[in-house]
A and B are shown apart, each in its own frame.
Chain A
């Protein structure tokens, strides 16, 4: 390999290494692990941040606007999970069928939601 080629190779490695370093540093505390609701109930995951997807159980929604605190439960057909979210009730919450939540489990097996994801209106096509 000629010297010039070696120089180019080393120069192109530099951005890659820098990017790798930045990505590695950013990875901490920002990863959320996907679990199904049945898995959460079976093994009782703790500590790490999880992400759960499920159907909203009808009539499970309680909302106290004065705190504000939103409680609801999700199901994947087999198991249920209770979740609570400290925040304002989003407009399209009751309308959503599928809800994705991110957060940590407390000792009662309740998911303390830090991020609540609902279908945006543009997704409503195909809901028929």
Chain B
């Protein structure tokens, strides 16, 4: 298997180089057959990469422990699904997965007929293949993935028990899909400048790709949080850890980008800022990779340091210098206003201005979080003592900015058309203001917490302004975006609730004893022991009673593995719309158990809200397709504002 993998990687390398050379020749000689050959070479490379990935999957499935990677990350008794997810458990495997995703995206781009004019598809091919070449070279020479062991071990060392969870199956591929999705808008933007595209046709192509990548980036971040919440046992989903922040940077910049793309094409700001944000977003995905692999910052998630981090840093610097240099070189073209229009900054509508201010807020968030994350490096270089900033810094910095952004988001539907008419505006304002007041008063009276009242009032206000948009068929073009906004508001309610309304107790209980926790009574019956192959599990199940009625059961257990000094804990979560009860079996002595009980309000709103967001993006993406198929004028995703 290893040889098939290596040989196909070498072939992929050859195909990629060939495709780049042929592509340049095709552009120079303007010969059609050369262009077709470019595509064939690129497709061949995709085929070889797929083969290489398949051979790794097969090696994992057939326990081919000759391959060092398989021996290190898999084992005979590993369940099938984790054998497959062992593919991306290590450094080189995740690079191969990333390469595979880029390759499939390149196929999609090649197939698209819209890109065939003006040699655009050949240029796209060249840019994508440059990136692919980098990954292939890394996999061949820096972290060789099909490295063989001198002696074949009987069994592999297996996947770390903490990685054997659904999160490991879903989170990494989704996040990589998000990261690599931004390559396509990046390629369009760079090509647009390279070819002196004065009409900025590239702006027309990028919107959908940005939305696509943004969807998966969002999904990647949410699934990562959910994984941490259910697996790590401390009950949090976000800790402002450098690696977490590094996936948040491109999210912030691409969210700003999505909104800037809605500005009218004739607006001068649009071209410059779209270019800057596209390049920034893609550079930040590389930066995220660098941070995770370099060991520059202490993180609980990072891979061990190594030469790979330095390579990514070099790529990052070269790319940033090249792209921003190109942007500077072509600045006149970028800031050119199309001839037919005489509009300048004054011509921006109220919605347009809101978009600009909102984007500035998002970029401020980005700058602030970046500053806080890099603060240890800054102080290490410029002062004698390295200083690290903890979560409270990030919370204090970001909460006011987030609230401001959410407020603007809530305002945005109000400003849509005829906003200057006071009568219409008051009519539009009535429902949201009423909802906001109800939410604020209700929260303040029942909890007395001012910050929570403000946050919930803002969320209710947003619900109130977005609801009419979703109910009216006239505004179908804005359905997708409004659903995403609505989802974000639901997430905000969840984040506010789960970070403010928290209970936490540690109790030592004997069998038969009852625990009173908030409104609940939990009954501890004792510990149970289960034996499996090469492991045993100690667990406990508590019945949760509220007002004499049983609300459900909650189980937490610890599994000890033969030959590993590290147990793995499964926390028990009873999730309702109102709150989550979170149980962690911390330890025991004979039959006395130490239980860590936590309560987080409204956590499930975060996961629910994320689904509303995904649905909104799908509506926006598919809504546009309807237009292409039937030629109807019903669009769900506005390309640009009127």
Query: Which residues does A use to contact B, with CB under 8 Å?
Result: 15, 18-19, 22-23, 25-27, 29-35, 51, 53, 63, 65-66, 68, 88-92, 94-95, 100, 102, 115, 117-128
Contacts and interface: CB of A to CB of B under 8 A. Distances in A.
B31 to A, nearest CB: 47
Given A91-B569, A122-B163, A26 B300 contact: no
Given A23-B368, A91-B162, A126 B388 contact: no
Given A68-B587, A89-B587, A125-B303, A32 B364 contact: no
Interface string B373-408: 000100000000111111111111100110000000
B596 interface: yes
A27 B393 CA distance: 6
B464 to A, nearest CB: 28
Contacts of B385: 33-35
B588 interface: yes
A92 B231 CA distance: 12
B314 interface: no
Given A119-B300, A124-B160, A65 B91 contact: no
B298 A53 contact: yes
Given A91-B567, A118-B300, A125-B303, A68 B506 contact: yes
Contacts of A25: 396
Nearest to A92: B566
A127 B304 contact: yes
A19 B72 CA distance: 46
Contact of A120 (B233, B301, B372): B301
Nearest to A51: B388
A31 B368 contact: no
B303 A26 contact: no
B386 to A, nearest CB: 4
Contacts of B401: 22
A63 B587 CA distance: 10
Nearest to A125: B90
The 4 closest A-B CB pairs, nearest first, are A126-B304, A65-B587, A26-B396, A30-B393
12 contacts: A23-B371, A33-B388, A66-B592, A88-B233, A91-B568, A94-B566, A115-B390, A120-B300, A120-B302, A121-B163, A122-B302, A123-B304
A34 B387 CA distance: 6
A125 B568 contact: no
Contacts of B589: 65-66
Interface residues of B, number: 58
Contacts of A53: 298
Given A22-B400, A65-B587, A126 B390 contact: no
B368 A22 contact: yes
A125 B367 CA distance: 31
Interface of B: 72, 89-91, 160, 162-163, 233, 298-306, 360-361, 363-364, 367-368, 371-372, 376, 385-397, 400-401, 506, 508, 558, 564-569, 584, 586-589, 592, 594, 596
Contacts of A63: 587
Contact of A30 (B300, B361, B363, B390): B390
B432 to A, nearest CB: 26
Contacts of B371: 23
A34 to B, nearest CB: 4
Interface centre among A51, A91, A121, A123 (most CB of B within 10 A): A121
B303 A100 contact: no
Contacts of B389: 27, 30-32
A26 B567 contact: no
A95 B162 CA distance: 12
B508 A66 contact: yes
Interface centre among A25, A30, A102 (most CB of B within 10 A): A30
Nearest to B401: A22
Contact of A125 (B91, B233, B588): B91
B392 A26 contact: yes
Nearest to B390: A30
Contacts of A122: 89, 163, 301-303
A19 B363 CA distance: 10
Contacts of B508: 66
Given A29-B392, A95-B564, 7 more contacts: A121-B163, A125-B304, A126-B303, A126-B304, A126-B305, A126-B306, A127-B304
B533 to A, nearest CB: 20
A32 B363 CA distance: 26
Interface centre among A18, A115, A128 (most CB of B within 10 A): A18
Contacts of B301: 120, 122-123
Contacts of B361: 15
A114 B567 CA distance: 23
Given A65-B589, A117-B298, A31 B387 contact: yes
Contact of A34 (B305, B386, B395): B386
A75 to B, nearest CB: 18
Nearest to A117: B300
A84 to B, nearest CB: 16
A26 B375 CA distance: 13
Given A91-B567, A91-B568, A121-B162, A22 B397 contact: yes
B259 to A, nearest CB: 16
A123 B302 contact: yes
B625 to A, nearest CB: 37
A11 to B, nearest CB: 9
Nearest to A124: B160
Contacts of A125: 72, 89-91, 303-304
B566 A95 contact: yes
Contacts of A91: 162, 233, 558, 566-569
